[in-house]
């Protein structure tokens, strides 16, 4: 079963994503911030990560930079309510960028597309 780690500081977003992704057949764990995510990555070993950009402490872009120094293969999808980050070259280290919405279809489709692309490259 594919493992998805959802990293977001908003509890209701974590719960929503978790439930919706479990319904899609994924095994899901959540993290409330970058520090929590680093711990969960070690123990949960996700196949893909959804990562919020604006979080207290270390933001998602800085976390992504540090994560890529250690792990260049686990795909990361940035999920944020702010579309203006799309132009920031620092987000290019992620596999995809999704603007948060009450409709999770774009996120679900993006996860499937990224995973299919990785499977095709194997």
* Alpha carbon distance 17, 5 (integer Å): 10
Domain ranges of the chain: 3-121
95 CB-side CA count, 13 A: 21
Q: Which of 54, 95, 103 is closest to 77 using CA atoms?
A: 95
pLDDT at 88: 59
Per-residue pLDDT of the chain (122 residues; tens, 9 = 90+): 999 999 999 999 999 999 999 999 999 999 999 999 999 999 999 999 999 988 999 999 899 999 999 999 999 999 887 656 556 555 555 778 888 888 999 999 999 999 998 888 87
Cross-strand pairs, 16? none
pLDDT at 97: 83
CATH for the stretch 3-121: 3.40.50.2300
Q: Provide CB contacts within 8 A for 18, sequence distance 6+.
A: 6, 28, 30
């Amino acid at each position: 079963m594919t493992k998805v780690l959802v990293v977001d500081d908003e509890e209701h977003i974590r719960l929503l994503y978790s439930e919706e992704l479990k319904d899609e057949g994924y095994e899901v764990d959540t993290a409330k911030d970058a520090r929590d995510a680093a711990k969960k990555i070690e123990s949960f070993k996700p196949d893909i990560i959804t990562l919020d950009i604006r979080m207290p402490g270390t933001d998602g872009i800085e976390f992504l930079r540090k994560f890529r120094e250690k792990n260049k293969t686990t795909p990361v999808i940035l999920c944020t309510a702010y579309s203006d980050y799309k132009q920031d070259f620092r987000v290019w280290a992620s596999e995809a960028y999704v603007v948060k919405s009450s409709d999770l279809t774009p996120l679900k489709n993006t996860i499937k597309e990224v995973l299919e692309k990785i499977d095709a490259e194997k």
